[in-house]
Structure 1
Amino acid sequence: MINNIGFIGLGIMGKPMAGHLIRGGHKLFLHSRSGVPEELIKEGGNRCATPKEVAQNAEIIFLMLPDAPDVEKVLFGHGGIADSLNKHPTKKIIVDMSSISPLKTIKFADRINQLGCDYVDAPVSGGDVGAKNATLTIMVGADESVFDKIKPILGLMGQTITLIGANGAGQICKVANQIIVALTVEAVGEALLFASKAGADPARVRQALLGGFASSRVLEVHGNRMIKRSFDPGFRIELQQKDLAIALSCASELGVSLPNTAITQSLYNACIAHGDAKWDNSAIVCMLEKLSNHQIKN
């Protein structure tokens, strides 16, 4: 049984996820560039000064970081995880739950494997609500034997846990997930804006749609945020924009056309240009409203 666990990255998602592991009976070694939250220490977590220190104490190390450069720095930078792995006799497991490029993931996995350790990409879907309620969907890229070893631990953080394939496959699945989510968020924004401009109560429209074929988790959660103008993250616009950039970059290399993804990405780019990068991604409706008002004025 794996008892000593490391967790690096304790933001909106990572903090509740680490809490579930502590309450699941594991000893947690924690590090975050923004500092380790005191409530996790009070629950029994152990503060570490560097990712290297986390890796020295843990059998399995989870990462929940914003982007590939952050993952690379934690893994291979000065004081990073790799500084411990190449001097440690125990075969450890690195589980990256961040959402990053599948191509970068495969490169990181190769480097970790060369140090004699296992690598898992396990990005998640479900947002801050799923992280708090331990109901995340977890998409895994790993060897089957490694997956079987860590699945009970993943089960403390998520509800639907699927082995997609080898390293990189989890991230490929997450890219597909983000395409669907982002385009659906944009579609919900358009629909509720249309309803409002046409003179209907968007809250009642949303309620009716939740009982029909247009029903979705996005309509339920993000539609409600749009109506209530509640744009505290959540999943920030800048992260959604980053994920769609990964999708479009990978698609370009594969020779795949993603026209609606590109259009939605342009709207998120505009949100960022208007200073809304830190808002929840449901705030794309604000950009749709600005474009609508501009057309009316013209």
Structure 2
Amino acid sequence: MSITTTTIARKSIAVAGASGTIGRAVVRECVSRGYDVTALVRSEAAAQLPELEGAQVTTVDVSDPDALARVFKEAVPDTVISCIASRSGSPKDAKAIDLDANLNLLLGAQAARTQHFILLSAICVQRPRLAFQRAKLAFEAALTDAPIEHTIVRPTAFFKSLSGQVERVREGKPFFLFGDGELTACKPISDADLARFIVAQADDPKAYGATLPIGGPGPAITLKRQGEILFEAAGREPRFRRVPVGLFSLFGGVFSLGAWASDWLAEKAEYARIAEYYATQSMLVWDDERRAYDADATPEFGSDTLADHYARLLGKTN
């Protein structure tokens, strides 16, 4: 009697932006699911990150389409997950990374006959006013028009983006509020929960062609509530200090006066606009008919809470 064995090929996934916080979580999730993972990083130092263990780590310049084509020709991924994002949000950086580098990834994926391209975008592109938002939308449009299956994931706020005042509170300083602290709200999502959501789309044909907003477990929380949660985690009485939102417009206007002659001033003006945007706009699904953000329409996923995250940062839990 002869025995025939059949080897079933494992799904192969290439993760771009693998050295970022979300990228590392996505790589870990892919490895845990038993996929063949190629982690694309920009530097040799990033290639040594322990979180990328179990993946084939490849250093490549995402601004070089020929280099990416060579990587994809060798790896031949079934799915490409792009977690790349501009670090500063400046117009020059946004075009180079959020648009051009993603276009390079898309071309490389198409040449390798990749089946599925998953893009990590952002929920704030619903109401674009900033350079990085317009760059992300330009790539979303290119991806939608390309002859490849695609999924666009638009998360709300990350835990990391809500952790900037942890040290202030630890040191007994007040928590800064923009206005009264009730101007905006979000459903923040952890790196691990977001990674699970993203990678789950790689196995779901129903995700093809979908644009998916996603938040963490509700309810939606305001900036003031974020501060209260942080003080609770620190075991301190809440102390707040209000910052007028109009300051950002003032600074942006001043920097804009010389933006035509100075890249430095142009960047500072954009940073002021970014700060004003996040101080006044919620990271929730936007209802265009009602002209309002809709917490109930913002999907929830995962189990990690901001309170638990703050407690870990403050050393209150293991």
TM-score computed with the length of structure 2 as normaliser: 0.45
Compare relative contact order (CA 8 Å, sep 6+) and give the higher one, 1 or 2.
2
TM-score computed with the length of structure 1 as normaliser: 0.47
Structure with a larger share of its residues in helix: 1
